[in-house]
Amino acid sequence: MDAALAHAESLGASIVVSVVDRGGHVVAKARMDGSTLLCVGLADDKAYTAVALEMPSDGLAELVLPGGYLHGLNVVQSGRVVPFGGGVPVRDAAGGVSGAIGVSGGTTEQDVEIAQAAVRSVT
């Protein structure tokens, strides 16, 4: 959390960061001043997507388009599966997924960069 917030501040982004466990349950969340209300749910859903699919959430974007392998997946699970950048799985020493982090509030590129920085700080 601290790494994500510090990196966001260095980029001038106001974000929400959400950490989920292996089951997709939020275990920690922080919201910076200036972040929008929409970002609260998106940060949770980006983290959920990353842990549920064991991949970064932005990797889903092309897969959910018509003709994609997972076409329409983003409209199931009550909309919790989101194909937006900012969700990154956290892997344990054996390579398994132990949780994920979701970031929302910056540009897509900033959200991805912040989430990756946060994951690097704990792996």
Domains of the chain and CATH, by start: 2-122 (3.30.450.150)
pLDDT of residue 48: 97
Rounded CA gap, 56 and 1, in Å?
Answer: 18
Residue 120: burial class (beta carbons within 10 Å; 0-12, 13-18, 19+): exposed
| Mean per-residue pLDDT over the chain, rounded | 94
The model's pTM is: 0.94
DSSP code of 93? T
90 confidence band (pLDDT: 50, 70, 90): very high
Tens-digit pLDDT profile for residues 28-75: 999 999 999 999 999 999 999 999 999 999 999 889 888 998 888 888
